[in-house]
Structure formats: C-alpha cells, structure tokens
C-alpha cells in the first residue's frame, strides 16, 4: 500500500512526499528518503489532529514542508513543496509591478509636462506679446487658436492692441498736423514779416524826422516787428526738430575761437568776458553757435552783470559755461526753464519768445551733450553745456 501510495504521489507533479515510520523513511525520490531533512521542530510537532507546516531548506533549496501523522499507524507523511519557483514568480511579479510603476510615473510626468505646456504656452506667448507691444511693436497680435479662456484672452489682447495702435496713430497724426500747421503758418508769415522788418528798419532810420509824440510808438513797433521775426524763426526751427529733419554737420571746431568770433560779431565783447582753455571739438559749428548765442543773449537780457563764458575740457568732454550775476531764477521755475514758451516772468513782454532755451536744449541733445542750470536768486545763474569732444557723426547726419 505504501508503494502504491508513493507511486500515485510520484505521478502528481509539483511536489514530493516523504513517509517516515519506525521501519524507516520512504520517499517519492530516493534522495529525499531521509527523515533528517525534516526540521526537528516540525518532526516533533506533527500529530494526527492537523497538518503542520514549516519552511526549510532541502539541498539548499527553499521548501514548504507540510506534515501529519496518519491515524492508527506509526506513519508520518510529509509533503515537500518547492518554494523556489514561487519566489521566482513573486520576484518576477515584483519586477513587473516595479516596471509598471516606473512607466506610470514617467507617463504621468509626461502628461503633466504636456498639460502644463498646453496651459503655459499661451500664457508665455501672451506675456511675450505684451512685452513687444510695450517696446513699441504695435502690430503685435496673438493667434486665436482655441475657444477656451485662452482664446478669449487672445481676442481681448488683440482688441486692446488694435485700440492702442489706432489711438497712437491718431495721436501722431494729430501731432504731425499740428507740426505742419505751425510750420506752414511760420512759413506763410515769413515773407510779410520780412517786408515788415525792412519797412520798420526804414522807419527807424527816419526816426529823427518823425514828430516827437510818434517816436515812442514807432520804436515800440520796430521792437515788436523784430520780436515777431525772431518768433517765426524759432517756430520754424522747432517744427524742424519735431519733424526729426535736423541735420548735423560735423567739423573740427576751435571752441574759444568760435566763441570770441561770435561775441565780436554780435557786439558783445564789452559786456561778456571770455575765460577759455584751448579746446578743439568735433561738432556742428552752427548749432554750437546757436546754443552759445542764445545763452549769452539771455544772460545779457536777464542777468545784466558780470557775464562770463568759460570753456574747460575734461578727458572726453568740452564744458562751456555761461554765467551771470543777475537776479537769478526762482527755484520753482528752474525745472521749467527748458520748456517751450516758458517765461519766468510773463509780464515782461518786451523780452523774448520763451523758445530760446528749449531750442538750446534740443540742439544740445542733437549734439549728444547735456545742459544743466544752477541759479540762486539775487546771485545769478550758470548754464553749463557738456559736449563730447570726439563724437563721431557722419559728415552729414540726419538725426
């Protein structure tokens, strides 16, 4: 019966059987027919009541050994289930799970990146477009690709850009119209005013022949006509600045020589002192003359006393300073003196046009220089122009 039982078990694959009795050990395969392969604790623990089991190594391979004593006999039966395969399967399962987990993590990361890119691309495109709009590229528009919030954002952005572009075009048109109007008015008035000036000078020459009571009004008239001509010339010059059509003609200019010639030509040598270091600079002669003559004529008109033109040089700059010891400019007026039509004392209608210093400012800017003013009420004013000595203009450069 034992042989038969063992033969039956032998046919059932997957596990081995060991029978232990007082007569010895028998097994489905010969090398297991040895009771010492059963761990001691299991061998002592088996009974008839239930199956006991334990893990153990047999021939260095892991097994689960299940044992029980057969009732009514001295036989104990042990089933040896090899665990190696199960462990292989478990570790295979682990590998599969781990690989699956890796793929899942990578896939969710990828999906995250794709999703965030889908969300962030329109946002970064919008911020790029806003930046280029701010930099003045007014025809910047966003593509409207979707019907979602981003599509609505792109639509609103485009509407805003369109409105902005339109407004700016309108403003620059209006500005251009205004500039052209000023230029045209000045131009149209030029001929009659030139005639007025020459007639006024004729009248002035005949002043002695005019009855005494008319002399004063005639003098005032002549003065006003001269101012009108000055105003027209200033307006023409300003409209050229606004049109951006000024040209710069660069020359080697001997600073002190230019200033002393200017003072002589304008008849200012006795009222203005020149204190100059030798400086040669590359700049536009005519514009420099305009700057200095405006500053000196202001100093004579408003400053009256102790007018000095100083010329100094630094490594790369020529500094030209026009100072007077006149009444000075109120501190609250200082920030505005370079504004167009600004007059610190508008009631003094006999004086200039209010454009002189703004023309100076524009010319200095065009020559790549700076102008500053210091003034103390009761002590006089100092205008300082700093010009680059070696600025490389093209020989004739449109700004």
Provide the binding-site residues for ligand ADP, judged by CB under 6 A: 298-299, 302-303, 324, 326, 329, 337, 342-345, 351-358, 381
Q: How far is the CB of 395 from ligand ADP (least distance, A)?
A: 31
**Phi, psi at residue 317, to the nearest 5°?**
-130, 155
Q: Which is nearer to ligand ADP, 78 or 302 (CB)?
A: 302
Residues facing 69 on adjacent strands:
76
DSSP structure class, residue 70: P
Q: Supply the minimum distance, in Å, between the C-beta of residue 341 and ligand ADP.
A: 8
Q: Smaller CB distance to ligand ADP: residue 7 or 220?
A: 220
DSSP 347: T
Cβ of residue 369: shortest distance to ligand ADP, in angstroms?
18
**Nearer CB in complex with ligand ADP: 299/318:** 299
The closest of 262, 314, 313 to 287, measured between CA atoms, is: 262
Residue 78: strand pairing partners: 18, 67
Minimum CB–partner distance for residue 316 and ligand ADP (Å): 28
Closer to ligand ADP by CB, 16 or 237: give it: 237
- Nearer of residues 140 and 358 to ligand ADP, judged by Cβ: 358
Six token digits for residue 347: 């009631």
Helix (H) / strand (E) containing 101: helix 84-134
What is the C-alpha to C-alpha distance for residues 329 and 343, in angstroms, rounded to an integer?
Answer: 10
Q: Give least dist CB 326 to ligand ADP, A.
A: 5
Tell me how far, at minimum, the Cβ of 129 lies from ligand ADP, in Å: 43
Helices (H) and strands (E) in the chain — how many of each? Answer: 8, 14
Distance CA 391, CA 399 (A): 14
Taking the complex as a whole, how short is the minimal distance between the CB of residue 295 and ligand ADP, in angstroms? Answer: 8
Contacts 24+ apart (CB under 8 A), 165-173: 165/138, 165/139, 168/138
* Residue sitting closest to ligand ADP (CB): 352
**Residue 37 vs residues 42, 44, 70, 85: alpha-carbon distances, Å:** 10, 13, 19, 20
Tell me the closest approach of the beta carbon of residue 363 to ligand ADP, in angstroms.
12
Question: How far apart are the C-alpha atoms of 23 and 39, rounded to whole Å?
Answer: 19
Q: Which of 317, 252, 300, 329 is nearest to 309 (CA)?
A: 300
Query: Least Å distance between CB 340 and ligand ADP?
Result: 8
Nearer CB in complex with ligand ADP: 129/299: 299
3-state secondary structure 271-309: CEEEEECCCEEEECHHHHHHHHHHHHHHHHHHHCCCEEE
Q: Which of 26, 290 has the CB closer to ligand ADP?
A: 290
Which is closer to ligand ADP, CB of 76 or CB of 362? 362
What distance in Å separates the CA atoms of residue 58 and residue 174, rounded to the nearest whole number? 103
Contact between residue 395 and residue 249 where contact means Cβ atoms under 8 Å apart: yes
Nearer to ligand ADP, 298 or 363 (CB): 298
DSSP E strands, the chain: 16-21, 24-27, 52-58, 61-69, 76-82, 247-249, 251-254, 272-276, 280-283, 307-313, 317-323, 370-376, 380-388, 396-398
């Amino acid at each position: 019966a034992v042989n038969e039982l063992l033969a039956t078990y032998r046919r059932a694959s997957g596990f081995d059987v060991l029978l232990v009795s007082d007569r010895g050990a028998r097994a489905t395969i010969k090398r297991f027919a040895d009771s010492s392969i059963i761990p001691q604790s299991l061998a002592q623990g088996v009974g008839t009541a239930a199956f006991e089991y334990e893990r153990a190594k047999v021939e260095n391979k892991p097994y689960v050994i299940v044992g029980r004593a057969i009732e009514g006999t001295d036989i104990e039966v042990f089933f040896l289930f090899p665990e190696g395969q199960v462990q292989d399967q478990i570790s295979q399962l682990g590998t599969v799970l781990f690989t699956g987990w890796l793929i899942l993590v990578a896939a969710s990361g990828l999906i995250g990146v794709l999703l965030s890119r889908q969300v962030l691309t329109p946002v970064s495109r919008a911020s790029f477009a806003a930046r280029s709009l701010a930099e003045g590229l007014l025809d910047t528009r966003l593509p409207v690709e979707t019907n979602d919030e981003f599509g609505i954002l792109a639509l609103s952005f485009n509407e805003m850009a369109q409105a902005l572009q339109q407004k700016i075009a309108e403003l620059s048109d209006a500005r251009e119209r205004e500039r052209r109007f000023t230029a045209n008015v000045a131009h149209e008035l030029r001929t009659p005013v030139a005639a007025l000036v020459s007639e006024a000078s004729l009248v002035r020459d005949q002043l002695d022949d005019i009855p005494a009571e008319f002399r004063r009004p005639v003098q005032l008239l002549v003065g006003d006509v001269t101012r009108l001509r000055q105003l027209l010339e200033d307006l023409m010059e300003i409209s050229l600045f606004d049109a951006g059509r000024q040209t710069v003609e660069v020359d080697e200019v001997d600073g002190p020589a230019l200033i002393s010639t200017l003072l002589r030509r304008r008849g200012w040598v006795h009222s203005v002192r020149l204190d100059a270091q030798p400086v040669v600079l590359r700049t536009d002669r005519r514009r420099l003359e305009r700057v200095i003559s405006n500053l000196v004529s202001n100093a004579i008109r408003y400053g009256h006393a102790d007018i000095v033109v100083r010329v100094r040089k630094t490594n790369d700059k020529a500094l030209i300073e026009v100072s007077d010891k006149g009444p000075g400019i109120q501190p609250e007026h200082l920030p505005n003196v370079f504004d167009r039509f600004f007059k610190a004392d508008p009631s003094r209608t006999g004086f200039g046009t209010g454009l002189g210093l703004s023309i100076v400012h524009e010319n200095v800017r065009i020559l790549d220089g700076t102008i500053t003013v210091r003034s103390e009420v009761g002590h006089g004013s100092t205008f300082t122009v700093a010009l680059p000595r070696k600025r490389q203009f093209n020989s004739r450069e449109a700004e």
